[in-house]
């Protein structure tokens, strides 16, 4: 999850797409709720992580 977001933000779209395919194969039931429960003091951190992942999904 984190790796996919990092790859997409660094412009490595092909690698992000490959990692996303692997991730979704291993975790087909993944939802953003799994990230929302992480108790960051600042909820913007959760939103940042989710936005990176969504960005990778839309680029795929």
- Check residue 59 and give its pLDDT: 86
Element (H, E) at 36: helix 33-36
For 4-53, the pLDDT digits (tens) are 999 999 999 999 999 999 999 999 999 999 999 999 999 999 999 999 99
Residue 45 tokens, joined? 């951190």
| Long-range interactions of 22-29: CB distance < 8 A, separation 24+ | none
Return the exposure string of 37-47: e unless at least 16 CB atoms fall within 10 Å of the residue's CB, then b.
eeeeeeeeebe
* pTM: predicted TM-score of the whole model, two decimal places: 0.82
Largest CA distance in the chain: 33
């Amino acid at each position: 999850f984190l790796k996919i977001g990092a790859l997409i933000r660094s412009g490595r779209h092909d690698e992000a797409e490959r990692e996303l395919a692997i991730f979704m194969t291993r975790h087909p039931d993944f939802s953003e709720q799994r990230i929302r429960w992480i108790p960051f003091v600042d909820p913007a951190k959760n939103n940042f992580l989710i936005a990176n992942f969504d960005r990778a999904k839309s680029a795929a």
